[in-house]
Amino acid sequence: MRRGVAVGRTLALMLALALIAGGAHAATLIHAGRLIDGVSPTASLNQTVVVDAGKITAIEPGFRAPAAGDRVIDLRNGTLLPGFIDSHVHLSDQQSRRTELERYTANEADRAIDAVVFANRTLLAGFTTVRDLGDGSGAVIALRNAITAGKVPGPRIVAAGKPIGSTGGHADPTNAYSRRIEPIDGIEDAVVDSPDAARKAVRQRYKEGANTIKIMASGGVLSNETHGLNPQMTEDEIRAVVETARDYGFKVAAHAHGAESIKRAVRAGVDSIEHGTFMDDECIKLMKQHGTFYVPTMSAGQWVFDKAQDPTFFPEIIRPKALQIGPQIKSTFAKAYKAGVKIMFGTDTGVSAHGDNAREFRLMVEGGMPAMEAIRDATSVPAKFLEIDDKTGSIAIGKLGELVGVPGDPLKDISVMEHVVFVMKDNTVYKAP
């Protein structure tokens, strides 16, 4: 307690000294050769964006000269964008050859420390907000709180906590366990097999401090189970999740690979379909009717397909699913985009490596989406979905200074999104050119 007071005083003194040294109104001036604001259909050239006390206070043509104490970021050869939003990550995990073993050896503390490292990588790659769609350890909710409190650097996190699924399904953490070590009470792990249990699982997420709900409507690639596509929740169970989620202001994201699982989830009212690998024309029609978002996660599809080329990388139960599902997502994306399904940028990073999130932009453009639209699907569109568009998602006066710089012009070469040179968040420049 006494020590806390002393630390508080020291911090206050340091802050006062910093203000005297830098001038009380020191601002950050970003000289941007090109500015993409996340909303407008075209970029504007040669702009100055001013960030003062964490907020955007001016956007003006030309390169404003700094006042005494102002910091200038020289991005005259690059492009300034709003901080990116990845709508599907797993910050407490990263797939590797050791994943199978770590199911038995890793503790929650290991996950928590990994998550701090991965969150920092994510931020430095230009992602200032992420939706974390599943973490069995509880580490991500703690990390979200620590980032919000300014204790560690990282993106703003919208956290789902434990994903909800059925016995033996994609979210059952004890699949393939020896019966000697399998725990008895599945509900603790969000394993549900009835609408009542589904309701309780949502309420449990609320109790634990989640911001959103994730369900496993179908089988999955990287779990110890035979089926990657089959439906694993009844429509009644999904509807119970959605109705209960609404009571608490939660949106619901549904992991779904197979067409039947997608249809059940959409009809039951989920807000987004994750992966959506085998969506057929009827799925597309239903998603358009219901306004359901599609989060393609092509990065994950690509990653599992690449790794499955090595027959020793995955356990034998996983490898055929990786070979089947991986390559399909890209053509599904192209089809869904053409048909006019609403899309949000999401990678499922934690499958692919943390910090590589921006590769998804290239996959989206290769799938037929114009670069400007891919950028909007990673900025203003998810900001609105996550109901944080008053703070972030576009470059506008009054919004937070959550800004990213890339070299060159992403509208000409989308791969520059993978070479972020400037990141600002929380009135702090984490990366400067």
Residues in contact with Zn ion by the rule CB under 5 A: 348
How far is 195 from 176, CA to CA, in rounded Å? 25
Between 295 and 383, name the residue whose CB sits nearer to Zn ion.
Answer: 295
Whether residue 345 contacts residue 377, with contact meaning beta carbons closer than 8 Å, is answered with yes
- Compute the least distance from the CB of residue 270 to Zn ion, in Å: 15
**Burial of residue 310, with CB atoms counted within 10 A of its CB: 0-12 exposed, 13-18 middle, 19 or more buried:** exposed
Q: Which residue is nearest to Zn ion (CB)?
A: 348
Q: Residue 167 CB: number of other CB atoms within 10 A?
A: 12
Between 231 and 301, name the residue whose CB sits nearer to Zn ion.
Answer: 301
**CA 169, 172, 177, 182 torsion-angle sign:** negative
Alpha helices in 252-327 (DSSP H): 259-268, 281-290, 298-308, 319-325
- Compute the least distance from the CB of residue 15 to Zn ion, in Å: 39
- Compute the least distance from the CB of residue 348 to Zn ion, in Å: 4
- Compute the least distance from the CB of residue 89 to Zn ion, in Å: 8
Residue 389 makes CB contacts below 8 A (sequence gap 6+) with 380, 383
Whether residue 259 contacts residue 241, with contact meaning beta carbons closer than 8 Å, is answered with no
Structure tokens at 208: 């634990």
- Compute the least distance from the CB of residue 88 to Zn ion, in Å: 6
Between 321 and 425, name the residue whose CB sits nearer to Zn ion.
Answer: 321
Between 271 and 348, name the residue whose CB sits nearer to Zn ion.
Answer: 348
Between 172 and 348, name the residue whose CB sits nearer to Zn ion.
Answer: 348
- Compute the least distance from the CB of residue 229 to Zn ion, in Å: 16
Query: Residue 376: which of 167, 81, 72 has the closest Cα?
Result: 81
Between 43 and 201, name the residue whose CB sits nearer to Zn ion.
Answer: 201
